Structure 1
Amino acid sequence: MLYKYPLFFISMKKLAIMLAMLLMFSYIPYVKPAELQANDEAYGVAVDSNGDIVVVGQHEVSQDKYVMRVEKYGSDGILKWQQDYDADVLNVGKAVAIDTNGYIYAGGAIGKEIAGIPLPSTDYLIVKYDKNGNKIMDSYSTPSLREMYNKGFTDILNDMAVGDDGYIYATGMTFSLSGKNLTNIDFWTIKIDPLNLAIVKEHIFDNEIDAAFGIDVRDDTVVVVGSVGKQDINKYCVVKYDSNLNVEWAKIYYEQDKYSCAASDAVILPDGSIAVTGWVYMDDTSYDILTILFDKNGNREWKRIEGGDKKDDGLCIASDSKGNVIVAGYKTEGTVPKWYIIKYTKNGNVLWDKVDDVVGQINRIAVDGNDNIIAVGYEEIGGEHKYCIRKYSPEGELLWEASAGGEEKLEAYFTWSPETPTRADAIHFYDKSKGNPVAWEWDFGDGTKSNQQNPVHQYNNIGTYDVTLTVWASDGSKDSITRQVVVVNAPPYADFTYSPLNPVEGQEITFDASKCYDKDGSIANYTWNFGDGNIAYGKVVSHSYASNGTYKVTLTIKDNDGATKSVYKYITVNVAGENAPPIANFVVDKLHAKLGEEVSFDASASYDPDGNILFYRWDWNGDGIFDEEYTQPYATHKWLQEGTYTVVLQVEDNNGSTNTYSKEIEVKTYTTNMLIVTAPAKITLEKGKEKEIEIRVRALTDVSDVSLMLINKTGNITISLPSPFNLTANEEKVLTVKIKAQTSGVISLKAIGSGEESDVATVTINLEKGSTPSFTLPLLIIAVALILLYRRRCS
């Protein structure tokens, strides 16, 4: 009865792949046979100009959630970064390409939904990242692009490439729906503008039942391969386009009338010939790997069939700098599929082949600048599919295997802030370990310990402490690291005020050092130098000047540990008379500035009691020379060298009297972000119930208008964020954030203030175990029927 649907004429093996994706997009947890198992699997790979490797695939976040995962590895196989696409609906990655500027384009499919209900229907998805893994744009988030990428009821992108013209080319298939029946499947190939991801050209190849699986681009040639179905026979299909997707020719090939075959991938060789690989159904028990070389006009030059009496498949193909052809996929030994690679000369002679020890299949391969082969796919471990990424030499020797699915080797590491703490500082320790640790133990070297991931600790004594962090992985393995933390004396803080602010000669001036303090002790001595040869001692002293003029008054304090700190201010003493001198004052937007950062000054609080202020003069380094003069009370300045600068403002009134006011500005080169966010790495929620968590935000400098921002989210999660706030240097604020989740997922948070931002803090949200509803009974019945049909045809 099922054969009345034209859908079933297509290759059952390729259909199984498509159905697996449709099942993922339709929330059916009850159907997960081995043939359609879908946990973590890599589908695409590309190599950039530095030899770094980018892999894309699917990652199972939870039992009802899959996302596109993009990873970047160094040429040595060490993971550099990992990103999961942040859409709220199900999505998977199928292909990846890298342009000459290092931008990464990850392609796949994303599920649709109506009123929040996922449908067994998908659209093409393309996400653009920079070389560091920062998402730039995607086709799903922009409504105009989302509509552009929707061609049929279900659209699945299977492969993509970057052309020499800089455009992105992608291919896959689009399912047509008539009434309640899937009536047709066609190739859908698109040309995409890399700047905005808009489709600039497209072509639908409609022969019978057509499914595209591979694409390659070289010079002005685009080649798409797949399968066409007619009268229950599947055939190789190769379509050659120009760069504007005009068809130059299409070739359909099959092994006699009774043998089905389907092409999986293609590569264009330097001379313009085209190598295609896939499978051929030889008899009732055997699938073999079929590789064909066509010349640039579509004439067949040679074919090679590899296999035995089991199920074997060529899933991907590439070429090296010598024009050799590399085919990969799997071969079945007994009942177990294993990774398989074979290398041909351009003439079709076998250079070598190998059945590797990996149970699973290779989905895609790429060749780097040294002709090494990078193969990606899955490895079956304990009944589950796991990412598998391997690099082989040109001769087929295994060079390395990358960590599966980003599960890096456990390696303990931590940092702390401030980097040079004092006894007065609450030191924030930050776990930076690799390999997803699940438990932590800190030994602070002073007899105290903690099991928090990111603890806060304060030392009572000056000294050098050996701090040890031990981390454990979920499998019980552990790793430790010890680093030395040097705790120093906190220098005292010096400042003073004086009154009156506009003194005249002979008038007694009171100098008050009550603003001075020592964070980890006490002030033992106050010494005043009034700039006229007189010295005084004490917290509060008095002094008068016999002559008018500007005097540099210096206060030096010493704490109980012997540390000293000095501060000076310029004081203007005017001639006694009828004119009242002006009063100078200013505020500054930051007292702690970064090197080269512009600082704003506002002297509008200055005034003249019996007239008006004509001039505002600024001395930016306290050397007694005024660098700039304005008639308005506003100024900006930036410093290009580190240091503590005394900024002096002099104001002059309409009678020629002057007065001064001073403040210190600290200028430093900061190697870390000025805002630091600390959040729990993982939390568990009850579905649909709100939970409060604590997020800590700390500033290393004065930062105003700080907001905690949600910058990434996967899953059906809602979060309430606090209102903006201000932070002074070394101040920490504890925020209460409310979270509610309908599905598991991940949230990424960042603190952003005036000119400052933090690193990203990521929180993984898991739901307490519960039931997952099915999508619809009719879809379940169809899925089971198709699986049974697939088993019957492939057994």
Structure 2
Amino acid sequence: MKKIVIFLATFIALQANAQDFNAETTTGCVPLIVQFTATSGDAWEWDFGDGTSVAYTNPINHLYTSTGVYTVKCTIFYSDSRPQQIVTKTNYIVVNPKPHADFTSFNNQSCDPLNVEFINISYDNDTASLTYQWFFGDSLSNDDTSSLKHPEHFFNNYKYYDVSLIVTNIFNCKDTITKPDYVKIEGMSGEIFPDTLIGCKPLRVNFNFNISGFDHKDSYKDTMILFFDDGESYVTEFVGAPLKHEYRKEGFYIPLIQLISWFYNENTGKYERCIRGYIVKDTIKVLGYTVDFRIENKQQEILSDGIKMLKPNDTAYFFDESDITPKDLTLSYKWNFGNGDSITTFD
């Protein structure tokens, strides 16, 4: 008889323990999705503690949209003669508040490189405990991020920047805000590519361009001026179109393009002008030349009538007297003496 009592007590205990439910998570940030699972029964009725209830579903997902501490109740029904069971878990689900991330600035648009002072207007129930992580979208910078509340960042390159802010509170709840194209460094940028860098005068050079930021408008038109560095220039509204120029005088030339563009400043409500200049990376060298030489014999007498004054088996000395401009060029030589011989030395 003693063995039977022990068996029945064990059975009743196991049955009682099986009447339960659990949650995939019990703590989180609003909005919080929780999956509840009952461990027994054939039908269920759930009371999530926030004024909503659902019947006959197991497991079930529930969305908590407000912060607070919630008591959850599950009524378990059986298809046999066993009575229904009610399992209640008091203060079971804790939904923590999430901070609100936001920021602004006084000036976020300019033609020139710009230092932006960001104003953090994020808030929370306990704003003093918030932590911050900024991303300025400036991949070319060495300090593209900051953890300060009100940081500054210098934007040096001509482009639009997406700025993001992540705010975290004491419950490790986060809010993120990203403002696309928030910082705008306006205007055009460009490169010049001459197809010829050295040659004799007159030298014709074709110029090609790589221009970014050009905006075709009916008014406030963008303009490109090409200064050839020889006193001449060319103005065009066909920004980036190839141009030709002929250099008629010897010398070294460094052409320059000036890009003039207009943008509407959202901060001032006015159109403003950007002017930027870019030079050719390599110098264009235009050569002027007069080829000449003189001849001397062993006695260093100048042979004014050329080789007619030389005797058989006599030696003639040839000296270059060419006038080549610019003077600092590295030149190559080839002499042909009329007898089938040639050399490539200077004299």
Same fold by TM-score greater than 0.5: no
Structure with the larger strand share: 1
User: What TM-score do you get using the length of structure 1 for normalisation?
Assistant: 0.19
Higher relative contact order (CA 8 A, sep 6+): 2
Of structures 1 and 2, the larger Rg is shown by 2
User: What TM-score do you get using the length of structure 2 for normalisation?
Assistant: 0.37
